[in-house]
Amino acid sequence: MILEQNKLPLLDYLNEKQKQAVVSTKGAVLVLAGAGTGKTRVLTYRFAYLVLSGQSGLHQILAVTFTNKAAFEMKDRITKLINRPIEGLWLGTFHALAARILRNHAEIVGLEKKFTILDIDDQVRLLKQILSHENISEKKWPAKVLLSYIQRWKDRGLKPNMVSPEETKGLADGKLLDIYQLYQERLLALNACDFGDLLLHNLDIFQNHSDILKRYQHQFRYIMVDEYQDTNTAQYLWLRLLAQEHGNICCVGDDDQSIYGWRGAEITNILKFEKDFPNADVIRLENNYRSTGHILATASGLIAHNKARLGKILYTEAELGEKVQTVGVWDSQEEARQIGEEIEALQRHGQSLGDIAVLVRAGFQTREFEERFLTLGLKYRVIGGLRFYERQEIRDALSYLRLVHKSSDDLAFERIINVPKRGIGDTTLRHIYMLARLENISLMRAAEQLSKTDELKPAAARALENFLKDINRWQEKAAQLPHTEIAKIVLDESGYTNFWQANPSPDAPGRLENLRELITAMANFENLEQFLEHVSLVMENDNTELQDMLSIMTLHSAKGLEFNAVFLPGWEEGLFPHQRSLDENGIAGLEEERRLAYVGITRARQKAYVFFALNRRVHGQWQTSIPSRFIEELPTQNVDIKIQDQFYTPMYEHKEQHQTMVLADYQQAKKNKTIKGNFLIENPDIFENETGQYTTGMRVFHQKFGYGMVTMVEGNKLDIMFDKAGSKKVISNFVIPADKV
Ligand code: ATP
Ligand code: MG
């Protein structure tokens, strides 16, 4: 019989070690292995194997995944492997499974069957009520902070009566334990529970009603757990109770991917597995099937900097592939721009968007990308949008309207500055960007300033001036006319309607219809502002159409997933590693951050890009940032470092747009101090525009016009008599004192 089972065809798709993990169905098995070695695949195949070999019924397996999405995918896979429809599996997250059990026995813990699970907002609201009732100052003790204490206790399986008073000393004026107790009472009164309670109530039921526990122990003859390194104590206790009778438990995990310490995960769970389950079979997988050589080596090299790890060997039979691209850019907007461009390039090479992901460290980072992708028309999830608003002509029209509404809308400006074509080319744009960055002003403002100088060719300057006049005129009208009228005027006068009318392509009529439909949609709102607000909200709605959309998500939620190309932006000190982790947990925090970086890199099959920006706006303030220490920890031979310097100084214009620096050069440059702030190229030719730096009579050099003498100074605008080019108006950032050349 066993021999027969071992011949099941699905085993042919596994390597020897994986096979061993799949067919060892009795007793405890721990698969401890690095990223992409097929741990999740082992669980999936094991599930199918148990069923196909007749060892287990479909509903006798309890399988725990880390996310609902992972559960969904696993179910899909199992269905294919066993080739028949399956329903009602006990396959899901700890929360989902525990909730299902709790519904069957809710009355035991004082809940009704149809209890509500409160989301985080409701939890905070409830706690606030209690705090106010107890006269505890929310200013001093924010509800969110106190709630996280309560949650951590729940993660550890501690009910109020189990928390040692020592731990609560001084918290919430010494009342936190009472508050925890009151919070639990309030929840019951509301027939509700929070996420932590799901497990806690389960434990309560199992520990106090052995008959019920026995029932489940009997039902779940096999238990399997993915991402075991991120289980917390409550989850661990739950598993142990369910498994203790038969001991048939198979856990898979990777200590290097433990990234939920901040949420109560206990990496020790995986480390002491063999103690908990004596005679456990520990299987190590070493063949990575996911990533190319350079990517795997980069990830391995980085994680090797962690001290607290078991350490493991990983190899791949895949080719070396491309090196990990590490790119330094001027600021976070530029980062989003370049990532957008690269994604478009990948798309042109046939890469589907569904195979591309942008993985951020912190939630706030997504906005920049969302806006950028919206502007470019790249479909993205998890935050997708209505199709209508995704259409090119609608986005163009919206950009016009946004610019009319707000001159400082740089993304809108960028999108339509030369749409339809009006003779404003790349050179003009580059000047505008540069000035905007140097002066920290909007593109529109920069364009206004430039149009009044001789920096641009006369034709370009004229085109720019006309465009700006148009915008100003529309803005004035917008103050008087209904917004739908304005929209019509803008689309007509900008030449945009015409642009589609004259377009011979078969989809042009449809696009004109869409534009009319846009005006219809606008009529539902009182004014332009409300309408634009609506559009941005609609864009945020979750889109259920998951096909071929780019994914933007946090690194934490990317665990277990894989993509052909992965973008990892924001590798800057303070952001990644995140300052809070460092402040709160020191070295341990840093190592968890590094594991997060390891998770990020190992999501990539073929291409991985690490980005860092030298300037980033944090809470509305521009801040200079230093590249993440993780960048220096990446093994030199597997990484290409590029520093994009096109925006640092106009002096670079004659050079190639991108300067590529290999890490060795970078390190040398750093030694020679030609790099400042860790990365920024210190170029004696760059200087900030100091007001009053230029005075009449001073000799200066301009990249295009050569040497000359300042004849008039007006703010940052200079009149210069150039030796060869004659009298010109220029902007002070574009010249340097002649003696500094
Ligand atoms: P992570 O640590 O990131 O969760 P993992 O160890 O769970 O990774 P899987 O996601 O199961 O790894 O597998 C990684 C990739 O390798 C998947 O695309 C999977 O289909 C493939 N793979 C795994 N094992 C094999 C195998 N024996 N033959 C071919 N492909 C495999
Ligand atoms: Mg996995």
DSSP, res 81: H
Options 39, 156, 381, 594, the catalytic residue? 39
Give the closest residue (by CA) to ligand 1 atom 13: 38
What are residue 326's DSSP bridge partners? 610, 641
Q: Residue 487, by phi and psi: left (phi above 0), alpha (psi -120 to 50) or beta? A: alpha
pLDDT of residue 704: 79
pLDDT of residue 655: 31
Q: Which ligand has an atom closest to residue 258 CA?
A: 1
Tokens, residue 309: 């790890």
CA of 294 to the centre of ligand 2 (A): 20
Per-residue pLDDT band at 538 (split at 50, 70, 90): low
Winning range, highest mean pLDDT, from 379-383, 489-493, 722-726: 489-493
Distance CA 690, CA 693 (A): 5
Looking at the predicted structure, is the pLDDT value of residue 668 above 60? no
pLDDT of residue 144: 83
Tokens, residue 339: 């990532």
pLDDT of residue 6: 66
pLDDT of residue 670: 46
Give the number of the atom of ligand 1 that is nearest the alpha carbon of residue 285: 6
Looking at the predicted structure, is the pLDDT value of residue 287 above 90? yes
Is 603 known to be catalytic?
yes
Per-residue pLDDT band at 108 (split at 50, 70, 90): very high
List pLDDT tens digits, range 335-355.
999 999 999 999 999 999 999
Looking at the predicted structure, is the pLDDT value of residue 540 above 80? no
Q: Residue 692, by phi and psi: left (phi above 0), alpha (psi -120 to 50) or beta? A: left
Pocket test for ligand 1, best of 14, 77, 250, 290 (most atoms within 8 A of CB): 290
First to last CA, the chain: 85
Is 226 known to be catalytic?
yes
Per-residue pLDDT band at 545 (split at 50, 70, 90): low
For residue 288, the surrounding DSSP H or E stretch is: strand 287-288
Pocket test for ligand 1, best of 37, 45, 296, 355 (most atoms within 8 A of CB): 37
Give the closest residue (by CA) to ligand 1 atom 2: 35
pLDDT of residue 691: 54
Cβ–Cβ < 8 Å for 727, 678 = no
Of 61-70, 455-464, 520-529, the least confident: 520-529
Q: Which residue bears the tokens 């730096």?
A: 693
Of 311-325, 381-395, 696-710, the least confident: 381-395
Cβ–Cβ < 8 Å for 65, 71 = yes
pLDDT of residue 262: 81
pLDDT of residue 387: 47
Distance CA 31, CA 243 (A): 17
For residue 103, the surrounding DSSP H or E stretch is: helix 94-105
CA of 20 to the centre of ligand 1 (A): 15
Amino acid 650 reads P
CA of 449 to the centre of ligand 1 (A): 56
Per-residue pLDDT band at 645 (split at 50, 70, 90): low
Of 93-97, 122-126, 239-243, 687-691, the least confident: 687-691
pLDDT of residue 181: 96
State mean pLDDT over 415-433.
Answer: 89
Per-residue pLDDT band at 687 (split at 50, 70, 90): very low
Distance CA 401, CA 389 (A): 14
pLDDT of residue 265: 86
Looking at the predicted structure, is the pLDDT value of residue 661 above 70? no
Per-residue pLDDT band at 492 (split at 50, 70, 90): very high
pLDDT of residue 9: 86
Pocket test for ligand 1, best of 256, 270, 289, 603 (most atoms within 8 A of CB): 289
Winning range, highest mean pLDDT, from 513-522, 538-547, 721-730: 721-730
Distance CA 246, CA 255 (A): 26
Q: Which ligand has an atom closest to residue 42 CA?
A: 1
Give the number of the atom of ligand 1 that is nearest the alpha carbon of residue 15: 27
Per-residue pLDDT band at 397 (split at 50, 70, 90): very high
Report the mean per-residue pLDDT for the chain. Answer: 85
User: In degrees rounded to 5, what are phi and psi of residue 435?
Assistant: -65, -40
Distance CA 730, CA 741 (A): 18
Is 114 known to be catalytic?
no
DSSP, res 266: -
Is 493 known to be catalytic?
no
For residue 427, the surrounding DSSP H or E stretch is: helix 426-439
State mean pLDDT over 452-473.
Answer: 93
pLDDT of residue 506: 63
State mean pLDDT over 220-236.
Answer: 96
Give the number of the atom of ligand 1 that is nearest the alpha carbon of residue 257: 2
Looking at the predicted structure, is the pLDDT value of residue 682 above 50? no
Cβ–Cβ < 8 Å for 472, 449 = no
pLDDT of residue 675: 36
Protein residues whose CB sits closer than 6 Å to any atom of ligand 1: 13-15, 18, 35-41, 254, 257, 289-290, 560, 562, 602
CA of 496 to the centre of ligand 2 (A): 49
Q: Which ligand has an atom closest to residue 595 CA?
A: 1
Closest-CA residue to 419 (of 400, 391, 440): 400
pLDDT, greater one: 254 or 513: 254
Looking at the predicted structure, is the pLDDT value of residue 653 above 50? no
Of 166-180, 349-363, 544-558, the least confident: 544-558
Looking at the predicted structure, is the pLDDT value of residue 273 above 60? yes
H helices present in 453-571, as ranges: 458-478, 483-493, 496-501, 508-522, 528-540
pLDDT, greater one: 570 or 554: 570
Looking at the predicted structure, is the pLDDT value of residue 34 above 50? yes
Distance CA 532, CA 537 (A): 9
Dihedral angle computed from the Cα positions of residues 558, 561, 564 and 569, in that order, rounded to the nearest 10 degrees: 10
Looking at the predicted structure, is the pLDDT value of residue 666 above 50? no
Of 114-118, 486-490, 634-638, the least confident: 114-118
Closest-CA residue to 221 (of 249, 192, 196, 202): 249
Closest-CA residue to 551 (of 604, 628, 598): 604
Give the number of the atom of ligand 1 that is nearest the alpha carbon of residue 603: 3
List pLDDT tens digits, range 702-740.
877 889 999 998 888 889 999 888 898 888 878 888 887
Is 544 known to be catalytic?
no
Q: Which ligand has an atom closest to residue 601 CA?
A: 1
Looking at the predicted structure, is the pLDDT value of residue 618 above 80? no
Cβ–Cβ < 8 Å for 373, 395 = no
State mean pLDDT over 600-611.
Answer: 98
* Percent of the chain's residues with pLDDT above 70: 88
pLDDT of residue 652: 29
CA of 557 to the centre of ligand 1 (A): 18
Of 117-121, 149-153, 275-279, the least confident: 117-121
CA of 641 to the centre of ligand 1 (A): 29
H helices present in 265-331, as ranges: 268-271, 273-276, 293-303
Tokens, residue 274: 């063999």
Cβ–Cβ < 8 Å for 253, 229 = yes
Options 194, 204, 227, 342, the catalytic residue? 227
State mean pLDDT over 223-235.
Answer: 96
CA of 318 to the centre of ligand 2 (A): 19
Is 40 known to be catalytic?
yes
pLDDT of residue 311: 81
List pLDDT tens digits, range 321-331.
999 999 999 88
